């Protein structure tokens, strides 16, 4: 009996050690990337980089203020498209026709879209928006990012609605509530934290995409707003494309800005994920 106990304790110790070792090895790439970003990008961070335009050629100084503004605008456009459409689709999948042929097809399409190469979303938006309007623009970039956000919103929102306790819905129906009242007064408020988590995760993914924006928004060395107006129907800068462009340049100034922009982009994604964890706590 004593030997059997010692054998179990030894196996438990070995497995625990292997799990911790695996976790440490898995964290090495992330820690290495963060270390490089902080050491090489943190030194360049200043108020100037958030308020100045990107430098050209042999210019010194500069920043990526227009790229940050463009990123926020395009992600905002994408969210304005993907969030309402995704939630409406999720309501149908979870409550109105969960087992219908249309629901099964839509659910399958959403799962397929989660693995869609982002460059194909850019090609789709290019054909739909850029070729129609004749110009690269922020709305075109927003449409491309919305395609990538939509399946994440749909699937997470559907799952959150399915997790609402059936007893709560039955109680509402028992009190005479209609289906629409149950959806808007019971299901959506209860599932809201998980829905917000899905939205934030979708935003985090969209903020870091580069390939779709190369086909749709391209890039610009100018501000997206001029004389108080948003010039959205023009090529628009973004942090991801700025990093892509500057990382291949032979100028130290642009390379330093690429590192700084990378750090800022990682911090934005980190903040979005932290917010999603905070608001993603179950309400009930």
Domains of the chain, residue spans: 2-44, 47-279
Checking if the pLDDT of 2 tops 60, the result is no
Q: Report the sign of the C-alpha dihedral through residues 203, 93, 281, 30, in that order.
A: negative
Whether the per-residue pLDDT at 4 is higher than 70: the answer is no
pLDDT in tens, 143-188: 999 999 999 999 999 998 888 888 888 888 888 888 888 888 888 8
- pLDDT (average), residues 113-131: 92
Q: 229-230 and 225-226: which strand pairing?
A: antiparallel
Q: According to the model, what pLDDT value does residue 219 have?
A: 92
User: Confidence band (pLDDT; 50, 70, 90) for 6?
Assistant: low
pLDDT confidence bin for 1, thresholds 50/70/90:
low
Answering whether pTM is above 0.75, one says yes
CATH 1.10.3720.10 corresponds to the domain 47-279? yes
Residue 131 has pLDDT above 90, yes or no: yes
3-class DSSP state of 164: coil
pLDDT of residue 120: 93
pLDDT at 39 over 90: no
């Amino acid at each position: 009996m004593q030997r059997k106990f010692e054998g179990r304790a030894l196996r438990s110790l070995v497995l625990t050690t292997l799990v911790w070792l695996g976790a440490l090895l898995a964290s090495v790439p992330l820690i290495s990337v963060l270390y490089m970003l902080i050491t090489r990008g943190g030194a360049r961070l200043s108020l100037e980089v958030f308020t100045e335009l990107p430098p050209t050629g042999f210019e010194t100084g500069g920043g990526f203020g227009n790229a940050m503004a463009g990123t926020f605008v395009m992600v905002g456009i994408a969210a304005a498209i993907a969030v309402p459409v995704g939630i409406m689709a999720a309501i149908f999948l979870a409550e109105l026709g969960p087992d219908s042929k249309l629901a099964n097809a839509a659910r399958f399409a959403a799962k397929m879209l989660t693995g869609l190469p982002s460059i194909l979303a850019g090609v789709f938006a290019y054909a739909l928006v850029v070729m129609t309007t004749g110009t690269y623009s922020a709305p075109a970039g927003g449409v491309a990012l919305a395609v990538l956000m939509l399946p994440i919103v749909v699937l997470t929102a559907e799952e959150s609605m399915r997790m609402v306790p059936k007893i709560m819905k039955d109680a509402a129906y028992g009190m005479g509530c209609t289906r629409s009242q149950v959806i808007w007064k019971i299901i959506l408020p209860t599932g809201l934290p998980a829905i917000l988590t899905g939205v934030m995760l979708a935003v985090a993914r969209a903020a870091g995409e580069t390939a779709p924006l190369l086909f749709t928004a391209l890039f610009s060395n100018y501000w997206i707003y001029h004389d108080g107006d948003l010039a959205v129907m023009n090529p628009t800068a973004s942090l991801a494309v700025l990093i892509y462009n500057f990382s291949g340049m032979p100028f130290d100034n642009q390379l330093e800005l690429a590192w700084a922009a990378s750090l800022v982009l990682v911090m934005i994604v980190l903040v979005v994920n932290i917010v999603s964890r905070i608001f993603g706590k179950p309400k009930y």
